[in-house]
């Protein structure tokens, strides 16, 4: 199928089998970096970053992994949680955990949920943005200064309706290279990041007791929190990101909130939804006895 090029040379091509390719085109051929998402049972397991020259595939590498690796990854993280990031396992002693597992909070966002389409759009956008930025920074160091224009960079992409997405939308990613560096500094692997946000496990919508009207979504492994924000909140955070990055680059173990991405979904009716992706500070295997609203 001919590609849809809302912002050429960056185009989207949807094949008849349901697979999707988002990447750069030249003279009607794939030319440059792109993200290929297969159809069928494989589509929730693997995504390829591909490089083409005049329609010829030069190389590719897998950015996603099969979900059979999830138990192994979760066990690895549990072992790290048990003793702390830097603690000696022989000195830490047994962890103090409730014997009864804490029930998963929130409402699972599945087909039929009022925000299902919005979440599918978010997941497709994050998939594209992280894959592109990860490919660009694949060989760079995770520390050091960044050019000032990196913090004002914006990536916009149009996504047509597909078998997965009922309605077309425009995606905007803010400072993608800066947030990719931040994820590197915090030790967030791109594969696990995408698997958490866009894997087979559905996101959960969390109840919000606040008055801001924001909606919170939690990844299926409880590692990442997604919050909808106003335009003013988003702009304020983006203004702070240069100094935030400078601080975090020298203090990777900071107790400040860990921000991983700022995005926007613009609907065809003109309305927009803005998101901030950040780390979840409440581990799911600890039962909370009391919550205090500050």
Paired tokens of 293? 């609203």
pLDDT (0 to 100) of residue 283: 60
User: Is 0.75 topped by the overall pTM?
Assistant: no
pLDDT (0 to 100) of residue 69: 44
pLDDT (0 to 100) of residue 222: 87
Nearest 5°: phi and psi at 206? -100, 145
CA dist 24 → 5, 124, 167, 219, 265 (Å): 9, 17, 23, 30, 21
Q: Class of the 107-279 domain?
A: alpha beta
Rg of the chain (C-alpha set): 20
Domain ranges of the chain: 4-62, 107-279
pLDDT (0 to 100) of residue 134: 61
Q: Is 219 exposed, middle or buried (0-12, 13-18, 19+ CB in 10 A)?
A: buried
Per-residue pLDDT of the chain (294 residues; tens, 9 = 90+): 556 654 445 577 777 777 777 777 788 888 877 777 777 654 445 677 777 888 898 877 665 544 434 444 445 455 444 444 444 444 445 545 444 555 567 788 888 889 999 998 998 888 888 777 765 655 455 556 788 999 999 988 888 877 667 888 999 999 999 999 999 899 988 777 877 887 666 789 987 766 678 899 999 888 999 999 999 999 999 999 999 999 999 898 999 999 999 999 999 888 999 999 999 987 655 666 776 766
pLDDT (0 to 100) of residue 201: 65
Name the residue among 128, 244, 263 with its Cα closest to residue 182. Answer: 244
């Amino acid at each position: 199928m001919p590609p849809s090029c809302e912002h050429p040379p960056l185009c989207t091509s949807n094949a008849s089998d349901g697979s999707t390719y988002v990447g750069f085109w030249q003279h009607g051929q794939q030319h440059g970096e792109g993200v290929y998402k297969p159809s069928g049972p494989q589509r929730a397991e693997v995504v390829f970053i591909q490089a083409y020259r005049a329609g010829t595939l030069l190389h590719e590498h897998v950015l996603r992994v099969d979900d059979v690796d999830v138990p192994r990854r979760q066990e690895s993280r549990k072992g790290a949680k048990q003793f702390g990031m830097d603690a000696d396992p022989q000195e830490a002693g047994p962890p103090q955990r409730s014997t009864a597992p804490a029930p998963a909070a929130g409402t699972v966002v599945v087909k039929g949920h009022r925000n299902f389409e919005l979440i599918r759009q978010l997941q497709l956008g994050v998939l594209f943005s992280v894959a592109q930025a990860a490919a660009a920074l694949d060989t760079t160091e995770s520390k050091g200064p960044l050019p000032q224009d990196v913090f004002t960079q914006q990536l916009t992409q149009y996504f047509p309706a597909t078998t997965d997405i009922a309605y077309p939308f425009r995606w905007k990613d803010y400072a993608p290279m800066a947030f990719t560096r931040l994820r590197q500094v915090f030790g967030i692997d791109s594969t696990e990041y995408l698997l958490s946000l866009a894997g087979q496990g559905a996101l959960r919508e969390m109840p919000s007791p606040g008055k801001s009207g924001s909606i919170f979504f939690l990844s299926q492994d409880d590692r990442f929190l997604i919050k909808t924000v106003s335009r003013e909140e988003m702009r304020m955070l983006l203004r702070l990101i240069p100094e935030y990055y400078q601080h975090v680059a020298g203090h990777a173990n900071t107790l400040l909130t860990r921000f991983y991405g700022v995005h926007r979904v613009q609907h065809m009716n003109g309305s927009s939804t803005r998101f901030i992706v950040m780390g979840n500070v409440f581990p799911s295997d600890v039962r909370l006895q009391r919550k205090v609203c500050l």
